[in-house]
């Protein structure tokens, strides 16, 4: 018993509360409207700012504006993968059902974002580089990310039992985690057609503020939109997996 | 943490470490194959296979572009600021192609040492700026230019 007690204190209280599907369902229900409004305002404002007010680029003209979709979706596709792997690891180690559900909900969202990043990149690549697709390290590693997401989704749907499926996909996502630093540093480690990062932590961005401020708004907007979509999926998943529990049944009856 | 969780945590960390080491070694071994292109330095040094289809990447030398008046033939020089390779290309160049621009060309080095390209792609750098700023920087001579390392990794 004493051992169990110290175990409880090892992590903050809210972390253990999140482990309760019911509590998680309630808290996401409260957070949803705020993130929804924030996502709507940021994405609308960011899009208008990016398309109408940001200056055109000296070489690419207006076609550079696709980065306002391309960069946020690429960043988020990677963040989403990291989140999926961490949630999977928590599910593996602490046997936390909610973590498994988070990991499962991440996969289709991440796949759509990776696909969006690849598609916008190809559309931009044709007029700028002269080619839709090149097998350079950045593009290929990003394609592998998409396949990892699809693999996780396929594996999850191939296994009937929810717990086993969560364990197997968690291991697959952890193995695939090695791809994330490869995507990030591909443009620094190898000769690629894709340009190096415009934003570096240690240096001034290679872009004036009137161009990167709307980009920042779009990135934050994408994160909020991702939070909304993830919470919606997670709530669905909670209801599905907990459908036999009394609180879900009560909830269904009260509607 | 109870021993069971500790053991599972160890397994998860072991997966991460072993996969990173394995992939890291594989990528290190494949380093040359993952590079999209050879730099002019490598081509001049004979590192690139002669006659085989390869890609060459570098900057178009200022003032080196000569267009044939009769056909679509273009001659220019490709540099990484250490070595220079002459390039010949017949076809339509991408919009971003210009002197002082980074490009990646696909083709082969012939016996004259000329790189005959079948495809030319523009390589964009990470700098974005409005046209007015670019003009001001150009007038001041401080327009950012890529460094040799960009083409030699």
- pLDDT tens-digit series, residues B89-118: 998 888 888 888 889 999 999 888 899 999
Q: What pLDDT was estimated at residue A112?
A: 97
Inter-chain CB proximity A207 and B128 less than 8 Å: yes
Inter-chain CB proximity B124 and A131 less than 8 Å: no
In this predicted structure, the answer to whether residue A193 has a pLDDT above a threshold of 70 is yes
Number of alpha helices (DSSP H) and beta strands (DSSP E) in chain A: 10, 0
Instruction: Concatenate the DSSP letters of all residues of A122-176 into one string.
Output: HHHHHHHTS-S----HHHHHHHHHHHHHHHHHHHHHH-SSHHHHHHHHHHHHHHH
Most confident of A125-139, A143-157, A187-201, B93-107: A143-157
Inter-chain CB proximity B15 and A211 less than 8 Å: no
Of A92, A210, A23, A137, whose CA–CA distance to B4 is shortest?
Answer: A92
Of B12, B20, B128, the CB nearest to A64: B128
Residues of B in contact with A58 (CB under 8 A): 129-131, 133-135
Query: Is ipTM strictly over 0.90?
Result: no
Confidence band, pLDDT 50/70/90 cuts, at residue A1: very low
Q: What are phi and psi of A86, to 5 degrees?
A: -65, -45
pTM above the 0.80 mark?
Answer: yes
Q: What pLDDT was estimated at residue A3?
A: 46
Confidence band, pLDDT 50/70/90 cuts, at residue A8: low
Q: Tell me the per-residue pLDDT of A57-69, one tens digit each, with 9 for 90 and over.
A: 988 888 899 999 9
Diameter of chain A measured on Cα atoms: 68
More confident call, A159 vs A1 = A159
Inter-chain CB proximity A129 and B34 less than 8 Å: no
More confident call, A232 vs A59 = A232
Whether the CB of A3 is below 8 Å from some CB of chain B: the reply is yes
Q: What pLDDT was estimated at residue B152?
A: 76
Of B20, B104, B133, the CB nearest to A193: B104
Q: How far is A121 from chain B (nearest CA, A)?
A: 13
Which H or E run contains A206?
none
Residue B34 Cα distances to A84, A137, A154, angstroms: 28, 6, 29
Q: How far apart are the first and last CA of chain B?
A: 45
Of A86, A197, A78, whose CA–CA distance to A141 is shortest?
Answer: A78
Residue A56 Cα distances to A62, A64, B126, B131, B132, angstroms: 5, 7, 15, 7, 10
């Amino acid at each position: 018993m004493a051992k169990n007690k110290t175990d409880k204190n090892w992590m903050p209280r809210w972390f253990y509360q999140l482990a309760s599907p019911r509590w998680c369902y309630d808290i996401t229900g409260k957070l949803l409207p705020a993130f929804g409004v924030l996502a709507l305002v940021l994405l609308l404002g960011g899009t208008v700012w990016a398309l109408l007010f940001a200056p055109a680029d000296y070489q690419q003209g207006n076609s550079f504006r696709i980065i306002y979709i391309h960069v946020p979706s690429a960043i988020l596709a990677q963040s989403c993968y990291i989140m999926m792997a961490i949630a999977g690891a928590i599910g593996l180690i602490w046997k936390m059902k909610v973590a498994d559900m988070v990991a499962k909900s991440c996969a289709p969202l991440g796949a759509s974002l990776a696909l969006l990043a690849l598609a916008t990149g190809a559309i931009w690549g044709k007029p700028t580089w002269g080619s839709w697709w090149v097998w350079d390290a950045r593009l290929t590693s990003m394609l592998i990310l998409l396949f990892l997401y699809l693999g996780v989704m396929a594996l999850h749907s191939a296994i009937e039992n929810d717990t086993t499926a969560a364990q197997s996909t968690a291991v697959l996502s952890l193995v695939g985690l090695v791809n994330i630093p490869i995507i990030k540093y591909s443009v620094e480690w190898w000769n690629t057609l894709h340009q190096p990062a415009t934003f570096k932590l240690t240096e001034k961005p290679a872009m004036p503020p009137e161009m990167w401020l709307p980009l920042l708004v779009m990135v934050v907007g994408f994160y909020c939109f991702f939070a909304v979509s993830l919470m919606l999926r997670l709530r669905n998943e909670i209801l599905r997996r907990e459908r036999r529990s009394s609180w879900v049944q009560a909830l269904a009856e009260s509607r | 943490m109870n021993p069971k969780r500790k053991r599972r945590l160890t397994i998860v960390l072991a997966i991460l470490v072993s996969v990173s080491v394995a992939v890291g070694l594989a990528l290190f071994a494949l380093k040359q194959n993952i590079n999209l292109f050879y730099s002019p330095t490598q081509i001049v040094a004979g590192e690139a296979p002669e006659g085989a289809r390869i890609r060459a990447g570098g900057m178009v030398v200022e003032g080196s572009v000569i267009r044939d008046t009769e056909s679509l033939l273009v001659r220019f020089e490709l540099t990484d600021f250490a070595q220079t390779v002459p390039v010949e290309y017949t076809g339509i160049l991408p919009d971003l192609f210009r002197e002082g621009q980074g490009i990646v060309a696909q083709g082969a080095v012939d016996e004259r040492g000329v790189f005959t390209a079948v495809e030319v792609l523009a390589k964009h750098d990470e700098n974005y700026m409005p046209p007015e700023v670019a003009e001001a920087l150009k007038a001041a001579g401080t327009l950012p230019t890529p460094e040799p390392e960009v083409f030699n990794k």
